[in-house]
Amino acid sequence: MSDGHRRAQTAIQTILRLTNLLMAGKRVAVIGDEPELAARLRAMGAQTLLTDPAAALQGHRVLAEDEAVALADLVIGATEAHLPLLRDGAILIPAAPPAGPSGTGEPSGTGELSGTGDPRRADGGPPAGPSGTGGGTSGAGGVLAGLPGVRVRDGITGYRLGPSREVFVLDMAC
């Protein structure tokens, strides 16, 4: 089994375990180069939204990144720049960090689509918890580091982005 297959299967199993979602009919934006993950989600009935024009050859819907994020129910590979575009109730899985603590280029954690990396703040302090003052990991790593979140349940943190906009972030390390 190749590394791409293994990462895709682990990511899907974690998403299903944490959310208990039925993928059929869900609009899923896959940001970045994850062809195996997109193919597996599409096979499960999800409407996959990708940004790579070559993905159209595999049956995925190709959109500009901003459009894909704005339409998606589930966004995989989200960054801080995507926050204003997310719709109410969207579930996001943060992008994996570029390099691990050793500087080897490997993502920190288990090598899968963890998206969280080291939960410590840049100043080395404890991670921001639901109160924003430290405590437990917020589940979003650097994507929503400045916002206080409310732990919905293990592995899921909710963030209010506005008066009528709330998004949920999955902690793929769970």
- pTM for the structure as a whole: 0.71
pLDDT at 67 (0 to 100): 95
**For the segment 3-47, what is each residue's pLDDT rounded down to a tens digit?**
878 888 988 999 999 999 999 999 999 998 888 999 999 999 999
**What confidence tens digit (pLDDT) does each residue in 88-121 have?**
999 999 876 544 343 344 333 333 333 333 333 3
Positive or negative: CA dihedral 13, 15, 16, 22: negative
Pairs from 115-123 (Cβ < 8 Å, separation ≥ 24):
115/141, 115/143, 115/170, 115/171, 115/172, 116/140, 116/141, 116/171, 116/172, 116/173, 117/141, 117/142, 121/145
pLDDT tens-digit profile of 112-170? Answer: 333 333 333 344 433 333 333 333 344 445 566 677 888 888 889 998 888 888 999 99
